């Protein structure tokens, strides 16, 4: 069976209107604008309204992506939502988005791989389309991290923001689209980034709530060390599969975790830092949404043209990591 060429044919994103600056955080925890910027590169982040859920953000990003792709919701075969902040344990956030969109014939499921989730989702979508099982797939990365953050913990509350991004995938002309990918995980790092309670390991109780165990906990040093090592590794493996090198790459769109992580990885790769597209200064770390948010912004700025070779690279809880090489199709 000959596999079809699969690419992204439309991108959309949504950012909540509420902005939280570093000076706002100075009033909440013992920190300073200078400290946050020097260690992370983040100046501000977006925060969802109290009545705004992950599916609301996902839906708004999806509408823009479908419009951009000139695809009707009724024509979608599958919706994948990559998120670590779903509306509910069950049903899937993707099913809620399917209903909001009126995508009546689409299957829908969530994918849980934190900050690698959107790349994992794109790989899954590509395989469904390449084999001919489906024609149009919507991949969304959406997060309301502000709802799982302990706003008294200065190690985490300075980092994260809310947002959503969506991509429509379809068959594209030969020579364009997704060329290769690499996905990996290191489950021994489970404690480096996790929400300790609320699942079957430690069900919700008065005690877990009092101990703030439903909030995201992070070992920043461990995550930093992990990310700086795996970014060069996964990018190298993705390029090797198609006998390409970084010289062939026009732009890298990384997960927007921390400016120092990307800067350190760029040095390790001997690749110009200005070829990594970064927008975390205005959005913070939006986990599964971040790559698509950065991609959409780069497209709006006219930085990507048909035929450009792009790399997406994600890394985060699991620990998990993934990268993808694609030749832009429009």
State residue 201's pLDDT score. Answer: 96
Please name which of 172, 147, 151, 81 lies closest in space to residue 120, comparing C-alpha atoms: 81
The CATH number of the domain holding residue 209 is: 3.40.47.10
- Which listed residue (115, 182, 258, 279) is catalytic? 115
* 214 and 89 share one domain: no
Q: pLDDT at position 200, please?
A: 96
Q: 153 in a domain, yes or no?
A: yes
- For residues 262 and 151, membership in a common domain is answered with no
Give a yes or no: residue 1 inside a domain: no
Same domain (yes/no): 156, 295? no
User: What is the pLDDT at residue 199?
Assistant: 96
Q: What is the 3-state secondary structure (H, E, C) of the chain?
A: CCCCCEEEEEEEEECCCEEEEHHHHHCCCCCCHHHHHHHHCCCEEEECCCCCCHHHHHHHHHHHHHHHHCCCHHHCCEEEEECCCCCCCCCCHHHHHHHHHCCCCCEEEEECCHHHHHHHHHHHHHHHHHCCCCCCEEEEEEEEHHHCCCCCCHHHHCCECEEEEEEEEEECCCCCEEEEEEEEECHHHHHHEECCCCCCCCCCCHHHHHCCCCCCEECHHHHHHHHHHHHHHHHHHHHHCCCCCHHHCCEEEECCCCHHHHHHHHHHHCCCHHHECCCHHHHCECHHHHHHHHHHHHHHCCCCCCCCEEEEEEEECCCEEEEEEEECCC
Domain boundary among 127, 142, 175: 175
What pLDDT does residue 321 have? 98
Q: Do 79 and 186 fall into the same domain? A: no
Domains contained in the chain, number: 2
Mark which of 121, 156, 175 sits at the end of a domain. Answer: 175
Tokens 């590509």 -> residue: 126
Residues 168, 248: one domain? Answer: no
Q: Are residues 170 and 202 in the same domain?
A: no
Q: What is the pLDDT of residue 228?
A: 97
pLDDT of residue 243: 97
Residue with tokens 């009724």: 74
Exactly one of 22, 68, 258, 285 is catalytic; name it. 285
Instruction: Let me know if 255 is a catalytic residue.
Output: yes
Q: Are residues 138 and 267 in the same domain?
A: no
Last residue of a domain, one of 117, 152, 175: 175
Judge whether 182 counts as a catalytic residue.
Answer: no
Mean pLDDT, to the nearest integer, of 176-191?
Answer: 97
Give yes or no for residue 328 having a pLDDT over 90: yes
Is 74 part of any domain?
yes
Together in a domain, 101 and 130 = yes
Q: Given this model, what pLDDT does residue 276 score?
A: 98
Please check whether residues 215 and 322 belong to one and the same domain.
Answer: yes
Give yes or no: 157 in active site: no
Tokens of 111: 């994918």
- Domain check: are 158 and 193 in the same one? no
C-alpha 179/C-alpha 65 separation (Å) is 22
- How far, rounded to the nearest angstrom, does the alpha carbon of residue 276 sit from its chain's CA centroid? 15
Q: Is this prediction's pTM over 0.85?
A: yes
Per cent of the chain over pLDDT 90 is 100
- Integer Rg of the chain from CA: 19
Q: From the candidates 182, 255, 279, 309, give the one annotated as an active-site residue.
A: 255
Residues 6+ apart with CB under 8 A from 35: none
For residue 1, the model assigns a pLDDT of 84
The band of 254, judged by pLDDT with boundaries at 50, 70 and 90, is very high
Residues 110 and 76 in one domain: yes
Average pLDDT score, the chain: 97
When pLDDT is averaged across residues 67-93 and rounded to a whole number, the result is 98
> Does residue 123 sit in the same domain as residue 233?
no
Owning domain of residue 131: 6-175
Summarised one tens digit per residue, pLDDT across range 15-67 is 999 999 999 999 999 999 999 999 999 999 999 999 999 999 999 999 999 99
CA distances from 130 to 134, 169, 170, 257, 304 (A): 8, 11, 9, 31, 24
- Sorting pLDDT into bands at 50, 70 and 90, what band is 121? very high
Confidence of residue 137 (pLDDT cuts 50, 70, 90): very high
pLDDT tens digit sequence for 194-210:
999 999 999 999 999 99
Structure tokens at 63: 């509408």
Give domain status of residue 80, yes or no.
yes
């Amino acid at each position: 069976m000959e596999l079809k060429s699969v690419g992204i044919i439309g991108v959309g994103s949504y950012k909540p209107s509420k902005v939280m600056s570093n000076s706002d955080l100075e009033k909440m925890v013992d920190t300073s604008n200078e400290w946050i910027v020097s260690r992370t590169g983040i100046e501000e982040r977006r925060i969802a309204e109290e009545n705004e859920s992950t599916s609301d953000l996902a839906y708004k990003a999806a509408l823009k992506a479908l419009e951009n792709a000139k695809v009707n919701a009724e024509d979608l075969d599958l919706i994948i939502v990559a998120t670590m902040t779903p509306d509910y344990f069950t049903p899937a956030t993707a099913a809620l988005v399917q209903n909001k969109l009126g995508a009546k014939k689409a299957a829908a499921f969530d994918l849980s791989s934190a900050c690698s989730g959107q790349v994992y989702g794109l790989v899954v979508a590509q395989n469904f389309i390449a084999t001919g099982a489906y024609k149009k797939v919507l991949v969304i990365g959406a997060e309301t991290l502000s709802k799982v953050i302990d706003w008294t913990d200065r190690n985490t509350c300075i980092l994260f923001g809310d947002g959503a991004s969506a991509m429509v995938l379809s068959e594209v002309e030969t020579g364009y689209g997704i060329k290769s990918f690499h996905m990996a995980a290191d489950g021994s790092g489970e404690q480096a980034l996790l929400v300790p309670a609320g699942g079957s390991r430690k069900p919700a109780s008065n005690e877990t709530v009092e101990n703030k165990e439903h909030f995201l906990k992070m070992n920043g040093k461990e995550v930093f060390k992990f990310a700086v090592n795996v970014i060069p590794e996964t990018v190298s493996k993705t390029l090797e599969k198609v006998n390409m090198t970084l010289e062939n790459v026009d732009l890298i769109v990384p997960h927007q975790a921390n400016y120092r992580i990307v800067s350190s990885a760029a040095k390790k790769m001997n690749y110009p830092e200005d070829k990594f597209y970064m927008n975390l200064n205005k959005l913070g770390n939006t986990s599964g949404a971040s790559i698509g948010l950065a991609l959409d912004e780069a497209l709006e700025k006219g930085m990507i043209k048909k035929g450009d070779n792009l790399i997406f690279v994600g890394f985060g809880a699991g620990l998990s990591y993934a990268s993808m090489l694609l030749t832009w199709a429009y």
